């Protein structure tokens, strides 16, 4: 199996283990954040003067290993992110990315901008879980979902007040796009090989449906790249590794934004 298939297989086992312990109805009834108004990433990206940056908190990746240990506290990093980012992405997968749902909760509590749950969604139950734990947006990866599942999951997310990002890696996956999806993200990282090519975004931007703000993901480490992507039509730029690999991720983010301005 390639890396994505390995991750999805593990995620199916994980969901099968935890799903019986807490129903969607229980999330709706007991989830603290279920009653909290959701924050809109679409509005944040389109706001005049927005940096467009979705700053990501992740401790490790399957291709690069650990950036930061489990001991790294979320709050100091995301408080810095909160100052200038359009949104914050939080990796909640434990096995492959070193994250968990507590990271999501802590981010929501100390920030006032939209929070994305970055994970491998393969069941509607995870979307209810995401809302209960503080997410404003969920990621739907075309490479591990059918067009029908994308439509169903995006519609459910919308019905409970969440936005959704459809993540694609090629033109064929754009066929998963539907009215229910809020935004389209182009991941420059091939999730099967983990190779990165920024041209993936540039080749797909003109094929993204009008009315769906476009987000470029992965491989963004310079101001020039953001300028190029922005000029091409992208509204959002998801950046994580570039900050998390530094000794002080929050400070690295603030320096990056200063240079961008």
According to DSSP, residue 223 is labeled: H
Instruction: Answer whether 144's CB lies under 8 Å from 117's CB.
Output: no
**Active site residue: 218, 235, 241, 242, which one?**
218
> Could you confirm whether 173 is annotated as catalytic?
no
Q: Choose among 110, 100, 86: nearest CA to 130.
A: 100
Q: What is the distance between the alpha carbons of residues 104 and 131, in angstroms, rounded to a whole number?
A: 10
- Confirm whether 187 is a catalytic residue: yes
Q: Do 254 and 80 form a contact (C-beta atoms < 8 A)? A: yes
- Tell me whether residue 118 is one of the annotated catalytic residues: yes
Q: What is the 3-state secondary structure (H, E, C) of 232-257?
A: HCCCEEEECHHHHCCCCHHHHHHHHH
Clarify whether 217 is annotated catalytic: yes
Task: Point out the catalytic residue in the list 118, 151, 212, 235.
Answer: 118
Q: Quick check: is 56 catalytic?
A: yes
Pairing, β 60-61 against β 65-66? antiparallel
Q: Which of 68, 80, 82, 167 is catalytic?
A: 167
Is 23 designated active site?
no
Kindly name the residue from 163, 173, 180, 217 that is annotated as catalytic: 217
Active-site residue among 56, 163, 173, 241? 56
The catalytically annotated residue of 58, 108, 212, 235 is 58
**Tokens 């099967």 found at:** 192
Q: Quick check: is 152 catalytic?
A: no
Catalytic pick among 61, 89, 182, 187:
187
> Active-site positions?
56, 58, 118, 167, 187, 217-218
């Amino acid at each position: 199996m390639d890396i994505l298939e390995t991750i999805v297989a593990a995620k199916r086992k994980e969901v099968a283990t935890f799903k019986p312990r807490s129903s969607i109805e229980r999330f709706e009834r007991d989830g603290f954040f279920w009653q909290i108004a959701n924050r809109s990433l679409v509005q944040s990206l389109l706001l005049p003067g927005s940096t467009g940056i979705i700053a990501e908190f992740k401790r490790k990746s399957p291709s690069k290993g650990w950036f930061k240990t489990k001991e790294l506290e979320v709050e100091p990093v995301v408080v810095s992110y909160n100052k200038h980012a359009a949104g914050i992405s939080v990796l909640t997968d434990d096995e492959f990315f070193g994250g968990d749902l507590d990271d999501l909760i802590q981010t929501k509590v100390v920030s006032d901008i939209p929070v994305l749950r970055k994970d491998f969604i393969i069941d509607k139950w995870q979307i209810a879980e995401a809302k209960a734990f503080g997410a404003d947006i969920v990621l739907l990866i075309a490479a591990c979902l059918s067009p029908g599942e994308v439509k169903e999951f995006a519609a459910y997310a919308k019905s409970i007040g969440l936005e959704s990002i459809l993540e694609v890696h090629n033109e064929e996956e754009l066929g998963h796009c539907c009215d229910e999806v809020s935004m389209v993200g182009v991941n420059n990282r091939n999730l099967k090989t983990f190779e990165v090519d920024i041209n993936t975004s540039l080749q797909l931007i003109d094929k993204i449906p009008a009315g769906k703000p476009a987000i470029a993901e992965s491989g963004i480490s310079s101001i020039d790249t953001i300028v190029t992507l922005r000029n091409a039509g992208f509204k959002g730029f998801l950046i994580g590794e570039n900050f998390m690999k530094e000794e002080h991720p929050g400070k690295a983010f603030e320096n990056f934004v200063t240079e961008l301005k």
